[in-house]
Structure 1
């Protein structure tokens, strides 16, 4: 009993010290942020916001988050997008539509890049802003090429187009299917082509995986659990789905891919066609 009581006291003390250290770290970070704003040292300010966004926001208490919110009017316009992107990383933040409007305006002024915009808008969607509202505002206020890219890469998934968005909705649908197809086909190609894995580190072609081995270890792509959906959406046909599964079965049985079998799978999938043409062509 004495040992158990001692252990409970030890772990409580350890947790207390850990919380104290965490709070001191956040307090120091917020103080540095305030000082950088006051001194108009925007490089430091941006660096601190990125640090909070990427490594600390989930540790904030409600009180600490409110301290960050109070700095809103002090943030220079050039860094407002980064500030909003930081705020929406807080898991308990209630996002109002006015903040979405401000952020989309900043997107239209090129104050952030596509990857960060996608991440921020997905967070806003998870925090209660309706996907249809986000989609419509992006279409209405962002240049079409950029809007298409953001909506294609985001997790926003609508079953039907918002009013007056039918054309861009269809473009996004097709682009998402091509995105999915290119991922599956390029990964298949990376594994079965004799040169790609050997030269991937020095080649100028970018793949979803850094090597064939890393693609093989991530088994989900070749199991194609959603194979019926892939076929129904004309992303792959039944023959291609079967070849993906054959490739997966080879690794399940032998933990490797025989060069002869790799060559057979390659020609069964691509025939004499250009793999790039195959990769970016949806079935009709």
Structure 2
């Protein structure tokens, strides 16, 4: 089977994926509103007034003065609100995806289809609510926890682009196609999904939470946002937050020594990409980079 036929099989949708799409999308109904409320409550605890919270949760198209918020409430307080709300959602939603796709569906093609439909759903909901200022409506659910204050006018744009990046699934299908053509033992392929996505789910999230709250934001980077800076502590946190969960996967499954080297390689790849990729694009580049590393190891090192 050539690649185009292989890819076409992934677009052969039928109604049996509908329950999986609904199950995978439960985080929109549960986690998004919860983390939006969490951010609203956290801002109250940090002393942000009701009027200013309404501006923060708005589309920010009119008269959003980031300097005003930084001077009034402090850069660190805003970093805490941004980092905790967005990345806790990132962690919980990512783990839900990983568990549901691998342990509930257990079929690569159906898992891909469900994830693809879920990505299209989020993009559609974000598009519909992009210009809305209703705090307690669809815009509040989709952008409340995810639109960083310190991204200023680009808050919603940053999250929207990050969701578009998840359409990298078609690139991952191509890498999977190459892998199946070049390996003889597919039994351990299930572990590669953890190596591809766990660093993005946990490592990338811890990098922002730890780096923005305790790190010294001195590394200037390019990306979507009014304040684009990272820290050495954040980069180290991405590396360790990627490495330790992967080492746990290897240890719990008694995988051979070569997998330990793969852990180090994937963690290094993730932390490097997270640092140099334009902000809001790492959702695309990290999984693709990690998938390529896994493919190289599968063919040349692990010899599956």
Q: Where on the TM-score scale, by shorter chain, does this alignment land: which range?
A: under 0.3
Q: Which has the larger radius of gyration?
A: 1
Q: Which one has more relative contact order, counting CA pairs under 8 Å at least 6 apart?
A: 2
Name the structure where helix makes up a greater proportion of residues. Answer: 2
